């Protein structure tokens, strides 16, 4: 196997999306190409793409895949002097020889040596080993290439019935995309309610809204397989323990696990969540080896437990922290709250911090308060329903988490609550905050203030 000797210190980045290219660009801002050579190796054809935009590409809110790419390989080469090799899979890491084995698609494996290594291999989608899961017409939606494949299938085959397996936020967003494309949509979920990152009482609101939009929701129904046309043909239906549902297209949104296999095989420490163990500077257990994004585990700021939560917000920030440190600067990642927001048609769903099950697991004694309110002053045109739920620790009265389900303009209130959580505020503090008000934006007492007050009074 060819082995190349480096003239300058060399950083190799594995994975060319959010975390990897944030790290590479930030390292380049601090070290020019005479000081640091940077090589990024990416298995797929794209760099720095927004996986978050895939549902909107499929639903045609976004017109073309190019719109989802913030920097392509040519831009990285030209503007950042970063050598990007797409279509190149890293097959192994040798920490003693400080090399990676990289194989270009259909080509010979090459050993590339590094002084510093950045692992940003993302997450691996959960794919149950059930019959028919690889049939034509069954898709995952993890990479931009997956998104393009779904869009092309819908454009060319014009499917009439869609089944989304998994009721998490990606499942919800894909259900919206298929509704927008005029299909009959079913959502199948093994849990008792969709959106299991929310408490079931809040998940029920999501279920009711989905049903109101015409999506058929099947709960507590584990999928048992995909039925295909005779002779291994295209998907025909999705089977559950209860029934069989017709499907011209199936999308799997069953969650992900950290993509830490390469690191594990190299002997790098893996944490209890299955993510690569990193410190606040994004250093792994191996000297000069860094990791960030969906492949790592992070510290939860409320529970202080290690968690692996696959979100682009975390990946970009962690990548930048790693890049700053690789470039000789100093940066620390402050931990995560798992703040997330998504929408299905006009329904907005958001959460931050701990839900009831998570708070219980973390050993907190807590109270909850739930408020039904409106997104604007009740008399103002467009005022719509929203429900806000908060959790607080009994003794300290510290806010532990919040969830929002509501119509247009409800969801982004989660950022106020994430700010409160980030600063360990009590519910009394939250109830006293000076928030903006005018009738088009909120009732005079914003639902955030009233829910916090209600919770404080309850305790």
Ligand X SMILES: Cc1cc2nc3c(=O)[nH]c(=O)nc-3n(C[C@H](O)[C@H](O)[C@H](O)COP(=O)(O)OP(=O)(O)OC[C@H]3O[C@@H](n4cnc5c(N)ncnc54)[C@H](O)[C@@H]3O)c2cc1C
Residues involved in catalysis: 52
How many Å apart are CA 324 and CA 283, to the nearest integer?
Answer: 12
How many helices and strands in the chain, by DSSP H and E? Answer: 12, 25
Residue 350 Cβ vs ligand X, minimum distance, rounded to whole Å = 11
Our CB check for ligand X shows the closer of 17 and 446 to be: 17
DSSP per residue, 95-138: TTTTEEEEEETTS--EEEE-SEEEE---EEE-----TTTTSTTE
The first and second tokens of residue 19, run together, are 């975390």
Our CB check for ligand X shows the closer of 344 and 392 to be: 344
How many Å apart are CA 390 and CA 248, to the nearest integer?
Answer: 41
Residue 387 Cβ vs ligand X, minimum distance, rounded to whole Å = 21
Q: In 10 A of CB 7, how many CB atoms? A: 7
Q: What are phi and psi of 59, to 5 degrees?
A: -75, -5
Residue 143 Cβ vs ligand X, minimum distance, rounded to whole Å = 6
Our CB check for ligand X shows the closer of 92 and 246 to be: 92
Q: In 10 A of CB 117, how many CB atoms? A: 27
Residue 262 Cβ vs ligand X, minimum distance, rounded to whole Å = 5
Residue 440 Cβ vs ligand X, minimum distance, rounded to whole Å = 26
Strands annotated E in 128-255:
138-140, 161-165, 184-188, 216-218, 223-228, 235-240, 244-246, 249-252
- Integer CA distances (angstroms), 134 to 109, 207, 241, 253, in order: 28, 28, 20, 14
For residue 349, give the 3-state DSSP assignment.
Answer: strand
Contacts of 124 (CB under 8 A, 6+ apart): 256, 257, 258, 259, 261
Residue 33 Cβ vs ligand X, minimum distance, rounded to whole Å = 22
How many Å apart are CA 258 and CA 314, to the nearest integer?
Answer: 13
- Whether the CA torsion 412, 413, 419, 421 is positive or negative: it is negative
The first and second tokens of residue 103, run together, are 């194989």
Kindly list the residues in this chain that would bind ligand X in the complex (CB under 6 A): 14-20, 41-44, 51-52, 54-55, 89-90, 120-123, 141-143, 170, 259, 262, 293-294, 310-313, 315, 342
Our CB check for ligand X shows the closer of 52 and 433 to be: 52
Which H/E stretch holds residue 387?
A: strand 385-393
Closest CA to 82 of 136, 21, 135: 21
Residue 245 Cβ vs ligand X, minimum distance, rounded to whole Å = 22
Our CB check for ligand X shows the closer of 15 and 203 to be: 15
Our CB check for ligand X shows the closer of 250 and 427 to be: 250
Q: Is 87 left (phi over 0), alpha (psi -120 to 50) or beta?
A: left
Q: What is the DSSP letter of 265?
A: H
How many Å apart are CA 59 and CA 82, to the nearest integer?
Answer: 34
Residue 177 Cβ vs ligand X, minimum distance, rounded to whole Å = 10
Our CB check for ligand X shows the closer of 123 and 369 to be: 123
Residue nearest to ligand X (CB): 293
Our CB check for ligand X shows the closer of 89 and 227 to be: 89
């Amino acid at each position: 196997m060819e082995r190349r000797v480096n003239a300058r210190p060399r950083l190799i980045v594995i994975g060319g999306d959010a975390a990897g290219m944030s790290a590479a660009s930030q390292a380049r801002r601090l070290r020019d190409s005479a000081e640091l050579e940077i090589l990024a190796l990416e298995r797929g054809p794209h760099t720095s793409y927004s996986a978050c935009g895939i549902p909107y590409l499929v639903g045609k809110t976004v017109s073309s895949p190019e719109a989802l790419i913030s920097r392509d390989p040519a831009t990285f080469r030209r503007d950042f002097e970063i050598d990007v090799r797409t279509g190149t899979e890293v097959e192994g890491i040798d920490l003693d020889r400080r090399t990676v084995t990289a194989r270009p698609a259909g080509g010979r494996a090459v050993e590339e040596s590094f002084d510093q290594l950045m692992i940003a291999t993302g997450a691996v989608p959960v794919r149950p080993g059930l019959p028919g899961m690889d049939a034509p017409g069954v898709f995952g939606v993890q990479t931009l290439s997956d998104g393009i494949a779904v869009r092309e299938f819908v454009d060319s085959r014009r499917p009439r019935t869609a089944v989304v397996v998994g009721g998490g936020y990606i499942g919800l967003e894909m259900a919206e995309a298929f509704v927008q494309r005029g299909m009959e949509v079913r959502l199948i979920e093994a849990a008792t309610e969709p959106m299991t990152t929310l408490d079931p009482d809040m998940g029920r609101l999501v279920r009711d809204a989905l049903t109101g939009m015409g999506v058929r929701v099947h709960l507590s129904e584990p999928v048992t397989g995909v039925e295909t046309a005779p002779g291994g043909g295209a998907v025909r239906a999705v089977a559950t323990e209860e029934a069989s549902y017709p499907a011209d297209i199936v999308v799997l949104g069953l969650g992900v696990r950290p993509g830490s296999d390469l690191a594990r095989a190299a002997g790098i420490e893996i944490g209890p969540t299955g993510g690569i163990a990193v410190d606040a500077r994004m250093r792994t257990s191996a000297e000069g080896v860094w990791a960030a994004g969906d492949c790592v585990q992070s510290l939860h700021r409320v529970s202080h437990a290690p968690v692996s939560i696959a979100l682009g917000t975390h990946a970009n920030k962690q990548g930048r922290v790693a890049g700053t440190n690789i470039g000789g600067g100093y940066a620390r990642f402050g931990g995560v709250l798992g703040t997330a927001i998504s929408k299905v048609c006009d329904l907005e769903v958001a959460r931050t911090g701990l839900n009831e099950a998570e708070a219980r697991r973390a050993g907190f004694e807590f109270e909850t308060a739930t408020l039904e309110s409106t997104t604007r002053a009740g008399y103002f045109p467009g005022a719509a329903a929203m429900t806000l739920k908060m959790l607080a620790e009994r003794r300290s009265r510290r806010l532990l988490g919040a969830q929002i389900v509501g119509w247009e303009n409800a969801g982004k209130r989660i950022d106020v609550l994430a700010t409160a959580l980030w600063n360990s505020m009590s519910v009394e503090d939250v109830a006293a905050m000076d928030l903006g008000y005018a009738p088009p934006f909120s009732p005079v007492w914003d639902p955030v203030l009233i829910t916090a007050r209600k919770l404080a009074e309850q305790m």
